[in-house]
């Protein structure tokens, strides 16, 4: 169910291109990410909704049969046991579009990514 529109300027614009039922899922995912990363910036990167805090945290996208969630390879590796019930690859997870999103797991992954990005900045700046 890829959107037909290219060149998005905002997450709102991206979400608006999908059918109402998919918009609800994407907004639910967006809210879970925001709750775990309230200081993150919303943007479009690689033509996907992206949250960034001292670098990209996570991306997401709607597809025909799934919602793609992209928390980098470290994000998938840290939660590999819990994510083993989902299809995916290094750095990506496919949540079936016809099943509820695992929102608590998503929040924990985002929190992990926030901590990871902030620790990288501390290490680079010599504060650690």
Structural domain includes residue 126: no
Residue 35 token pair: 């709750």
Rounded-to-integer distance, Cα 118 and Cα 21, Å: 35
Question: 29-87, pLDDT tens digit by residue?
Answer: 999 999 999 999 999 999 999 999 999 999 999 999 999 999 999 999 999 999 999 99
> Containing domain of residue 106, as a range?
11-118
The domain spanning residue 91 has which CATH number?
3.90.1150.200
Structural domain includes residue 38: yes
Question: 76-110, pLDDT tens digit by residue?
Answer: 999 999 999 999 999 999 999 999 999 999 999 99
| Structural domain total, the chain | 1
Structural domain includes residue 5: no
Structural domain includes residue 104: yes
Return the bridge partners of 66, or none.
96
Structural domain includes residue 1: no
Q: Residue 52 class from Cβ within 10 Å (0-12 exposed, 13-18 middle, 19+ buried)? A: middle
- Bridge-based pairing state of the strands 41-45 and 87-89: unpaired
């Amino acid at each position: 169910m890829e959107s037909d529109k290219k060149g998005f300027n905002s997450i709102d614009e991206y979400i608006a291109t999908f059918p109402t039922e998919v918009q609800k899922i994407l907004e639910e995912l967006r809210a879970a990410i925001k709750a775990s990363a309230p200081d993150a910036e919303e943007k479009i990167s690689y033509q996907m909704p992206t949250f960034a805090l001292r670098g990209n945290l996570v991306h997401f996208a709607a597809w025909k049969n799934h919602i793609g969630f992209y928390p980098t390879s470290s994000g998938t590796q840290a939660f590999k046991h819990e994510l083993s019930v989902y299809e995916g690859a290094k750095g990506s997870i496919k949540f079936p579009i016809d099943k509820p999103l695992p929102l608590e797991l998503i929040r924990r992954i985002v929190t992990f990514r926030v901590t990871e990005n902030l620790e990288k900045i501390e290490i680079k700046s010599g504060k650690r």
